[in-house]
Chains A and B, each alone.
Chain A
Amino acid sequence: MTASIATNQTILVVGGGISGMTAALEAAECGKQVILVEKTPVLGGRTARLYRYFPKMCHPTCGLEINLRRIKQNRNIRLMTMTEVVSATGSRGNYSVTLKVAPRFVNENCTACGKCAEAVSAEVANPWNYGLDKMKAAYLPHNMAHPQRYVIDPSIVGTPEGEKAKAACPVGAVDLEMKEETVTLQVGVLVWATGWRPYDAAKIQPYGYGRFKNVITSLEFERLADPHGPTGGKILRPSDGKEAKNVAFIQCAGSRDENHLRHCSRICCMASLKQTQYVREAFGDEGKSTVYYIDIRAIDRFEDFYQNVQKDATVSFVKSKVARIAENAENGNPILHGVNTEGYQRYAVEHDLVVLAVGMEPEITGVKLPDDVILDSSNFIEGSKDQGMFGAGAAASPLDVNRAVQSATAASLRAIQVIRKTASTEAV
C-alpha cells in the first residue's frame, strides 16, 4: 500500500469497535475521507462479543449490522484490518503515521466459502470467546465478520497444515507468502478509539481467578450466555460442565481499587444486573443470582432496570466487597467470604459459579503513544497538546455503549474541525 491514499485532509481513526466505527462513519457521512484501522481481523471490537446490551436486552450485533451496512456502502471510508499504529509524528493538521499491517494470509479473493477451515485440523485458542474454546487455525472470526474473509493463523504457516488450507481454497485466496508490511500515511488528524480491555483478574489474588476454575470474568460470562459462544448459550461452569444455577457477581473486581484500577469503570454494575437476567433467562425461578457490591451505579434511566431487577425474587444484593474466595475441594464450588456491611453480617457462601465484574483498562495501557497525547492517571486519553488528536469512546473514559457513541460522534466533529482549519490555512 502506498501513502498516496491519504492526505492531511484525511482523518485516521484508530480502532474498529463501536466508537471507532461511529467516529469514522459520522465523519464519512459528512463527506470526509477516513481511514479506519483495526488491530484484529474484523470490525466490532469489544461489543461484538457481548450477548446482550443493557438496558434493552437487545443484541449488539443488531446495531453492528447497521454500522457494517453503512461502512460497506460508504466510499469515504478505507478500512485496514490487522493493522496497528506504530508511531505518529508531526502536528495538528499534518501527521505522519506509521502502520504495521500483519499478514492475514488470505487475500481479497476469499469468498468465505469455508473450504480452508474444512481442510485444516490444527486448532488454536479462540480469542472471540476469550479462549474458552478452540477454533480451527483457518477461521472466520465470527458470524458477522467484516471483512467477511478467513484468516490463517500464523502458527500453521510453513507447516503442512498451512499447505492444506492453501490447497483447499478454490479461488486462490490463501497466500502463505504474505509478509508483515509497514505503511506510512500522511493524515490531518487522529481519533484514538482504541477502547478497553478487561483488567487482568488474576492480579486480584484473593479471588483466585486462574486458580479456581469456577471463577470467571464478566466477559467470559457473556460468551457462556451467548448462543454463538462456546457452550451454545448454556450457562455451564468450566470445572465440570454442570449448569451454574447459583451465580455470584462480584462488583468492582479491579475497579475503585488503588491496588488495581483507581477509577470506577461505570459499566460493571449494569453489566452484572443484566447478567442476572441471563441466569433468569436460562433457569427461570430455579436460578439464583447474588450481587456483591459497594454502590450500585445504575445511573439515570438505568435506575429503571435496577428497580426491575430488585423486584426479581431470584436476585439478591449484598453490600459487601468480597474479601476472598476459597474452593470447596469436593464439588469445586467457590466459597465467598466477607461481611455484609449493612448492619454487619459475616458470610461464607457457596455458589456454583463466580463472575468477576472486571474493570475497564484502556487498551493502550503500556503502549507507546505520541508524546503529544495527554493521558489521565488511569491512562484514558484526554486529548493532545496541540488538539490534533482526540480520544473517543472508552479510550477517553470508561463509558457504556450509548455514551461511547456520543463521545465518538463528538470526537468526529472535532476531527472535522481540524481538517477544515487545515484546509483553510492551506488555501490562504
Chain B
Amino acid sequence: MNAPATPKYAAYICSGCGIGDAMKVGQLENIAKREGKMTVVKSHPFLCNAEGVQLIKDDIANEQVTHVCIAACSRRAKTEAFQFDGVAMSRANLREGVLWVVAQGKEHDEVRQEMAADYVRMGCAEVKKMKQPAGNVKEASSKAILVVGGGMSGMTAALEIAETGYEVVLVEKSGALGGMAGNLWKRQPFKAPYAEAQDTGVADMAARVSSHAQIKVHLNSTLAETSGAPGRFTVKIAQESGAVTDVTVGAIVQATGFTPYDMAKLPDLGGGQANVVDQVGLEALAKAAKGGEIKRADGKPVKSVVFVQCAGQRDPSGQHLSYCSGHCCGTSVKQAMYFKDQNPDIDTVVMYQDLRLPGMGEDFYRSAQQKGVIFTKGKASKVSGGDSCNVTFKDLILDEENTIPADLVVLATGQVPNAGVDLEKWNPVVTAAEGGDEAAKAQRDEMRATQSVLKLTYRQGPDMPQFKHGFADSHFICFPYETRRTGIYAAGPVRRPMDMLQAIDDATGAALKAIQAVENASVGRAAHPRSGDLSFPTARLEGCTQCKRCTVECPFGAIDEDEKRFPKFNEERCRRCGTCMGACPVRVISFENYSVDTVGSQVKAVEIPEEDEEKPRILVLACENDAYPALDMAGLARMNYSAWVRVIPVRCLGSVNTIWITDALNSGYDGVMMMGCKKGDEYQCHFVKGSELAHYRMSKIGDTLKQMGLEPERVVTQEVAITDNARVVKLINDYVAELDKLGPSPMKGFG
C-alpha cells in the first residue's frame, strides 16, 4: 500500500440523527481543529449517505488525507459506509454514546455538549496515534498442511484439503491407514433410510489417500518436533526406523482420535474376564466372522449377547469417565444387527439407561427393533464372565433386580482422546525443572518424549491446551474450531467425543480452517475472532526487562523466548487481542492501530473539570466484543446513563495496561470502571483468558492506589454480557452514586 509520507488528519462531524439539534456542532468543529489539531474539519448533515461518504473519499483522494476521525454514530453502525482503504480511522460515538444516553432537555445541554466534546477530543487524539496496518505479506509462506493421524478424521481432512488444491503431509504412527475405523466390520448408516449397517469405506479411502498426487503419506511415523508458526511450521517426522524427515507446512490438523476406555478398570462389569469384550473387541470378532456366524475367542458360536451401555461412562463418582461418548448407543445397535442379520434367532439385548440416538438415529433404533433386538432400560451392576456370562441389573421399567445369561457380553466403554500432554500437568513440572529440579527435568523430557503428540517447541508447552476431560478443544459454541493454538485445528474424537459421521463433518470443517490459516498467514492476516486484522504486535526490545509476563500470559502461546530470554513474537500465531500489551509493565508492546498510546492519549484528551465544578469524570474501559455493544444497545433503547462517564472500547480487558488506569487517576478522574466478559471455567471471553487476567491484575492494583492516597473503590472491574444493556446502565449509575459518596478525587488539579 502506498501510504503518503506525511500524515494528514481530518475530522468529519455528522449533525444528522438529531446530533445537530442537541449539540452545538460548530463548537465541536472548533475543538477538532484547535485541540484535536485536525487539518481538515468538516461537518455534514447526513454523513453516512452517499454524498457524505463521497465528501470523505474526495478528501482522501484529493487532499491526501491519511487519518480520519468520524464523529457520528457508534463504530458498530454504518460500518460499510465508513470503510476507507489505506486510511487510519477512529470513530467518536456521538449518537449511541451521547445523544441517545444523555437525558433529553435543555437542563442537560451543558453536560451533553461536554461529553460530545470529549469524545471528539478522544477520537482526534486516538487517530493521531494510529497507523493503518499494511499487513505483512510473506512470499515464502508455506501453504502445505500437515494432518496428524490417518484414521477416518485424518484421511477425510487430507482428502478434502487435497481436493481443494493444497498439498498435504499425512503422518500416521501405525503401519497402515484406517485408524479406529479400520478396525470396524461395518459402520452406522449416514443416509436415509438409516436401516442397515454399511461398509466402512476405509479401504477405498485409504487407497485414494495413498494414491493422491497431492498427499504425501508417512506411515510408521510420529512427530519428533514442531516449531514455527502458521505459514512456517517446521516439522520433524520421525520414522520407526529412526530416519527423520523435515517438512515445512503452513497449518496442522490434529486428528489423533481416541483410545477406548480400558476395560480392565471395570472389573465389576466383567472387564478382563473371558467372553466379556468391549465394542472394539466385538468388531474384531465380527471382522473375523466375515458376515458368518460370530464366534467367541474360544471358538464357540454366540447364541446370546448382552450389550451393556455406558460402561465406565456417565460416572458422576469421578472414578471413570464422567461424560457420554455419544457414539456408543448407535454402535451397540449396529453390533446387535451383526448378530440378527446373520441369524435372527440369536438373542440380543441392549441394556441402556438413556438410549441416545439423536436425529435420524431414531430410524436406526427402529430398524434394530424391527430385527428383533431387545432394548432393556436397566443399569448393570455385575457381569460375571466365563463360559456362561451373567449380567445382573436393575430393570428400571419393571423395577426389579434381574439377571440375564449370555454367551457374550459387550461393554460399551467410552472414548479417551489422544490429545497429548495435559498442559495443566506440564506447567508445574516445567516450572520446577526451570528451578533446577533434576527429577522434574527428567519428567519433563519423559512427558515430551512419550506423551506429546505435536511436540511443539512453544514456550507454553508441547501440545494444544485441553479443555475438559482431556479433549483438545476450547469450549466455544459459535466457533468450534478456535483452538488456543493458531493454525492448529483439532478434528474428530480428539476434540469432542463423536461418531464417524460427525468426525467426517468435523474433519471437513477443520480442513477449511487449516486452508484459511495458511492463506491468512501468507498475507499477515489475523485468524478469528479478529479475522482480517492486519495489525500485529511489535516490541521495543531495548526497553524490555525480560519479565516474561507476555510470554506466560498470551492465551494463544504466540510468544516464545529467544536465546537471550527476550520475548520472540510469532506474529502468525497472534490473535491480536493485546493481552501482551496489557501485561507489559514497561509498555514496550504495541500494535500499529492499537497501542498504549492510542488509548492513553484518549484518556489524557478528556477535559477534567475543576473540583468545585462538581463534575466527576469516570473512565469506562469496555470490551469491544460484549460490553461496548451492550452500551450501544442501551443507547438504542434510549436508556440514560450518567454523562460523567467517558467510554473507551478495548479489544479485550486483557489488553488493558495499568498505566491507563494510573494515568487516569493521576489526571483527576474520579473512578475507573472496566467492563469485560465472564471469566472462569464457563468463560465467555473471546480471547479465553483476557478477562480473567484483567481481574487478576486489578486485584493487585490496591497498593498503587494506596500510594496515591486513593480509595480502592476508585477502580472497579465488572463482568458484563452483551445482553446486559439495562445492567450496564445500572452499573454505571450505581457507580456514579458510589463515587459521589466518596467525594471528588484528591488528585484533581495535579494532573
B404 at the interface (CB under 8 A from A): no
How far is B635's CA from A140's CA once the two chains are assembled, in angstroms? 14
* Chain A CB within 8 A of B460 CB: no
Q: CB distance B626 to A304 under 8 Å?
A: no
B532 at the interface (CB under 8 A from A): yes
A406 touching B509, Cβ below 8 Å? yes
Q: In the complex, are the beta carbons of B723 and A59 less than 8 A apart? A: yes
How far is the CB of B261 from the nearest CB of chain A, in Å? 14
B105 contacts partner chain A, Cβ-Cβ < 8 Å: no
Tell me whether A295 and B354 are in contact in the complex, defined as CB-CB below 8 angstroms, given that A226-B723, A343-B399, A405-B480 are known contacts. Answer: yes
Can you sample 28 A-B contacts with CB below 8 Å? A26-B516, A29-B516, A29-B532, A56-B682, A58-B678, A59-B684, A61-B722, A63-B477, A72-B80, A109-B49, A111-B46, A112-B77, A228-B723, A262-B362, A295-B355, A295-B356, A300-B326, A303-B324, A304-B468, A307-B316, A319-B396, A342-B396, A344-B399, A405-B477, A405-B478, A405-B479, A417-B163, A420-B165
When A73-B532, A377-B192 are in contact, do A398 and B629 touch as well, CB less than 8 Å? no
The segment out of A34-42, A179-187, A208-216, A407-415 that lies at the interface is A407-415
Judge whether B481 and A409 touch: CB under 8 Å. yes
Interface flag for A327 (CB, 8 Å):
no
B 356-390 to A, binary, CB cutoff 8 A, 1 in contact else 0: 11111111000000000000000000000000000
| Set A51, A65, A376: member contacting B625, Cβ < 8 A | A65
Contact with B along A281-306 (1 / 0, CB 8 A): 00000000000000111111111100
Q: How many A-B residue pairs have CB under 8 A?
A: 224
Complexed CA–CA distance, A399 and B506 (Å): 13
Least Cβ–Cβ distance between A192 and chain B, in angstroms? 15
Chain B 173-206: CB-based contact to A (< 8 A → 1; otherwise 0): 0000000000000000001111000000000000
Residues of A within 8 A of B678 (CB): 58
Cβ contacts under 8 Å, B726 to chain A: 227
List the A side residues contacting B76 at CB < 8 Å.
69
> For A56, what are the chain B residues with a Cβ–Cβ distance below 8 Å?
475, 477, 682, 684
CB contact under 8 A between A264 and B359, given known A29-B532, A56-B684, A66-B529 = yes
CB distance from B483 to the nearest CB of A (A): 14
Q: A377-408: which residues lie under 8 A (CB-CB) from chain B?
A: 377-378, 380, 382, 397-399, 401-403, 405-407
* B618 nearest CB across to chain A (Å): 24
B444 sits at the interface (CB 8 A): no
Q: B65 near A: Cβ within 8 Å?
A: no
- Chain A residues, CB < 8 A from B468: 301, 304
- With a cutoff of 8 Å between Cβ atoms, the chain B residues found around residue A53 in the complex are 477
Q: Which of B192, B476, B498, B511 contacts A413 (CB 8 A)?
A: B511
In chain B, residues 81-124, which have Cβ atoms closer than 8 Å to a Cβ of chain A? 83
Bound form: Cα–Cα A218–B33 in Å: 56
A274 to nearest B CB, angstroms?
Answer: 12
- Asked if B326 and A111 make an inter-chain contact with CB atoms under 8 angstroms apart, the answer reads no
Asked if B16 is at the interface (CB within 8 A of a chain A CB), the reply is yes
- Are B532 and A63 within 8 A (Cβ)? no
Contact B354 A297 (CB under 8 A): yes
Whether the Cβ atoms of A66 and B359 lie closer than 8 Å is no
Interface of A is mostly: loop
Known contacts A29-B516, A144-B633, A300-B496; A58 and B721 CB within 8 A of each other:
yes
Quick check: is A370 within 8 A (CB to CB) of the other chain?
no
Determine if B515 is an interface residue (Cβ-Cβ < 8 Å).
yes
Which of A58, A143, A397 touches B636 (beta carbons < 8 Å)?
A: A143
How far, in Å, is B205 (CB) from chain A's closest CB?
16
Residue contact A413 to B512, C-beta cutoff 8 Å: yes
CB-CB nearest in chain B for A145: B636
- Please give, as numbers and ranges, the residues of chain B lying within 8 Å of A178 by CB-CB distance: none
> In the complex, which residues of chain A have a beta carbon less than 8 angstroms from the beta carbon of B515?
30, 413
Give the residues in chain B near A428, CB-CB below 8 Å.
none
Q: Chain A residues near B79 (CB, 8 Å)?
A: 69, 72-73
With A143-B725, A377-B193 known to touch, is A263 a contact of B512 (CB < 8 Å)? no
A26: chain B residues at CB < 8 Å are 512-513, 516
Contact of B607 with A by CB under 8 A:
no
A227-B726, A300-B496 known; A266+B359 contact, CB < 8 A: yes
A126 adjacent to chain B (CB < 8 Å):
no
> Smallest CB–CB gap between A193 and chain B, Å?
14
Contact of B723 among A140, A227, A343, A398 (CB under 8 A): A227
Whether the Cβ atoms of A144 and B16 lie closer than 8 Å is: no
Q: Which residues of B contact A113 (CB under 8 A)?
A: 16-18
A127 at the interface (CB under 8 A from B): no
Interface string of B208-232 (1 = CB under 8 A from A): 0000000000000000000000000
A258 to B511 CA separation, bound complex (whole angstroms): 38
B322 contacts A59, C-beta separation under 8 Å? no
Bound-complex Cα distance A39 to B476 (A): 27
Q: Report A-chain residues with C-beta under 8 Å of the C-beta of B193.
A: 377
In angstroms, Cα B512 to Cα A414, docked, is: 9
Chain B residues closer than 8 Å to A420, beta-carbon distance: 164-165
Known A-B contacts A148-B77, A263-B359, A264-B359; A59 and B721 likewise in contact (beta carbons under 8 Å):
yes
Does B545 touch A at the CB level, under 8 Å? no
Set of chain B residues within 8 Å of A61, measured between Cβ atoms: 629, 722-723
Q: Judge whether B565 is part of the interface by a CB distance below 8 angstroms.
A: no
**Counting CB contacts under 8 A, is A62 at the interface?**
yes
Are B165 and A303 within 8 A (Cβ)?
A: no
Q: How far is the CB of B633 from chain A (nearest CB, A)?
A: 5
The verdict on B561 contacting chain A, using a C-beta distance below 8 Å, is: no
Report how far A405 CA is from B324 CA in the complex, Å. Answer: 21
Across the interface, which residues of A come within 8 angstroms of B397, CB to CB? 341-343
B168: min CB distance to chain A, Å:
14
The distance in angstroms between the C-alpha atoms of A112 and B76, with both chains bound, is 13
Q: Which one, A31, A303, A376, A412, contacts B191 given CB within 8 A?
A: A376
CA distance A142 to B318 in the complex (A): 44
Query: At the interface, yes or no: B686 with Cβ under 8 Å from chain A?
Result: yes
What's the minimum C-beta distance from B716 to chain A, rounded to whole angstroms? 22
Chain A residues, Cβ within 8 Å of B633: 143-144
Q: Which chain A residues numbered 46 to 81 have a C-beta less than 8 Å away from chain B?
A: 51, 53, 56-67, 69-70, 72-74
Chain B CB within 8 A of A131 CB: no
Contact of B314 among A73, A171, A256, A303 (CB under 8 A): A303
> Would A402 and B359 count as touching, CB distance under 8 A?
no
Indicate if B347 sits at the interface (CB-CB under 8 A).
Answer: no
Known contacts A56-B477, A304-B468: A263-B17 contact under CB 8 Å = no
Give the complex CA separation of A303 and B354 in angstroms. 11
Which of chain B's residues has its CB closest to A147's CB?
A: B80
User: How far, in whole Å, are A420 and B508 apart by their CA atoms in the complex?
Assistant: 16
A171 touches B497 (CB 8 A): no
Q: In the complex the two chains form, is B316's CB within 8 Å of A297's CB? A: no
Q: Does A353 have its Cβ within 8 Å of any Cβ on chain B?
A: no
B579 at the interface (CB under 8 A from A): no
For B475, the chain A residues whose CB sits under 8 A away are 56
Asked if B138 is an interface residue, CB under 8 A from chain A, the answer is no
A31-B519, A62-B722, A407-B505 as given contacts; A67 in contact with B78, CB under 8 Å: no
Q: For chain B residues 340-364, which have a beta carbon within 8 Å of chain A?
A: 352, 354-363
Residue pair A73, B478 in contact (C-beta under 8 Å): no
Residues of B within 8 A of A319 (CB): 396
Q: Is A236 an interface residue (CB 8 A)?
A: no
CB proximity of A51 to chain B, nearest CB, Å: 8
Interface presence of B488 (CB below 8 A): no
**Residues of A contacting B512 in the complex (Cβ-Cβ under 8 angstroms):** 26, 30, 409-410, 412-413, 416
B300 at the interface (CB under 8 A from A): no
Is there contact, CB below 8 Å, between A63 and B192? no
Known: A56-B477, A61-B722. A299 touches B324 (CB 8 A): yes
Question: Complex: how many Å from CA A420 to CA B399?
Answer: 60
A70 and B531 contact, CB distance less than 8 A: yes
Give every chain B residue within 8 A of A30 (Cβ-Cβ).
Answer: 512, 515-516, 519
Q: Is B469's CB within 8 Å of the partner chain A?
A: yes
Which B residues touch A403, using CB under 8 A?
Answer: 502, 505
Closest Cβ–Cβ distance, residue A408 to chain B (whole Å): 8
Does A410 contact B508, Cβ atoms closer than 8 Å?
yes
A18 at the interface (CB under 8 A from B): yes
Closest residue to A65 on the B side, CB-wise? B629
